[in-house]
Amino acid sequence: MLALGPAGEGSGAEQQVRHLSVWDLQGELRPGDLLVVNDTRVLKARLQARRASGGAVELLVLQPHNNAAPREAAAASSESCWICLVRPGKRVRPGEVLQLEAAGQPSLPLEVVALDETTGGRVIRFPPGCTDAASIEALLQRYGAMPLPPYIQHPDPEQESRYQTRYATRPGAVAAPTAGLHLSDELLEAIRARGVEIATATLHVGIGTFRPLEEEDLSSLDLHSEWVEISEGLVDAVAACRLRGGRVIAIGTTSVRSLEGVAALHDGNLVPFRGPVNLVIQPGFRFQVVQGLLTNFHLPRSSLLLLVSALIGRPRLLELYEEAKRQGYRFFSYGDAMWIAPEAVEEAARP
């Protein structure tokens, strides 16, 4: 773990770059701090289907077409339509019927209803009742596969459990909030024993997280919205943390976007919320809730890299990434972690 910030509790504000293990995170936290994690659970959202012509296609189930409806409550739409990425998809048109296939399962017809211009995918009608993540999960368990990162060429049976955080309870994501994969049951127990509270937000990771930035002018940057839930209990936990002088620490950029996205919709105030959030965090952003962050190393031209740059500034970020490369840190979903202590956050960006 690459750590940026003062070396331990009680030290001065001078920033230091240190090389630690993730187990050392407990020593970086203080009694009274609040750790916010994302409790989304990854669905087996990758499906195999066949066109009437016999051609094979792959579907990646993203989200209900009626995204105004709660993903984990009775959705308003009775059509069971979902937005899916289709590969190869150029010739897959509305009105076509695909046959969903899986070993040991009967083929299942799925109608292509419409094009989805926002994602470039297709709106596909699933069987009645598949209106939210909880209700479609049984079908995905039978027909689907975990959407593991594409660089994992030979996944083993244990990968499906490894690609879930230890606290993943809310189905709906198509990718794991990977910073949370660093936290074992033992580390979480040690963090609680130190007097640190742990609370959960929910952001169902979707395509917007990974879409590369293609515009040079970031002032009009827009990402695909993702479903967020901030509970009343989390709002109370943040307020109590502030009252006792603790610090709000986010595990992963998805936790940051959950907290800051909802606060941005409510004039900087964190309130209970369920719905889609579309927030681009980039340099110049003043955070309203989050004070520190544990994150992975991100790829160039990604919104995640912009978010981290907003915390510590682009020049410092580039220095840290050069240091990570020199030291052989691993990137990607199963890579190493970076700890940004609250003291390392730029003054202009702090809550």
Q: What is the pLDDT of residue 294?
A: 98
Residue 332: band (very low, low, confident or very high) from pLDDT cuts 50, 70, 90: confident
Tell me where in the chain the CATH 2.40.10.240 domain(s) lie: 45-143
Q: Is 50 exceeded by the pLDDT of residue 106?
A: yes
Within a 13 Å sphere around the CA of 284, how many CA atoms are in the beta-carbon half? 4
SS (H, E, C) 309-338: HHHHCHHHHHHHHHHHHHCCCCCCCCCCEE
* 193 or 120, greater pLDDT: 193
Tell me where in the chain the CATH 3.40.1780.10 domain(s) lie: 2-41+159-349
Q: Is 90 exceeded by the pLDDT of residue 312?
A: yes
Start-end of H helices in 194-302: 232-243, 253-265
The CATH class for the domain spanning 2-41+159-349 reads alpha beta
In this structure, the strands spanning 337-340 and 2-5 are parallel
Of all residues in the chain, the percent with pLDDT exceeding 90 is 72
Residue 278: band (very low, low, confident or very high) from pLDDT cuts 50, 70, 90: confident
Task: Give the tokens for residue 146.
Answer: 């975990």
Q: What is the pLDDT of residue 89?
A: 84
Asked whether the beta carbons of 106 and 168 are under 8 A apart, the reply is no
* 261 or 215, greater pLDDT: 261
Could you tell me the sign of the dihedral formed by the alpha carbons of 102, 107, 108, 112, in that order? positive
Strands of 117-225, DSSP E: 121-125, 170-173, 197-203
Q: pLDDT (tens digit, 9 = 90+) per residue, 61-89? A: 998 887 544 443 333 344 799 999 999 98
The CATH H-level superfamily of 45-143 is QueA-like (2.40.10.240)
Q: In the structure, how many helices (H) and strands (E) does the chain have?
A: 8, 17
Q: pLDDT (tens digit, 9 = 90+) per residue, 155-179? A: 677 777 889 999 999 999 999 999 9
**Distance (Å, whole) CA 292 – CA 9:** 14
Q: What is the pLDDT of residue 74?
A: 37
**Distance (Å, whole) CA 9 – CA 24:** 12
**Distance (Å, whole) CA 19 – CA 89:** 45
Nearby residues of 266 by Cβ (< 8 Å), 6 or more positions away: 273
Question: Taking the complete model, does pTM exceed 0.75, yes or no?
Answer: yes
Nearby residues of 86 by Cβ (< 8 Å), 6 or more positions away: 57, 58, 59, 92, 121, 122
Q: What is the pLDDT of residue 70?
A: 40
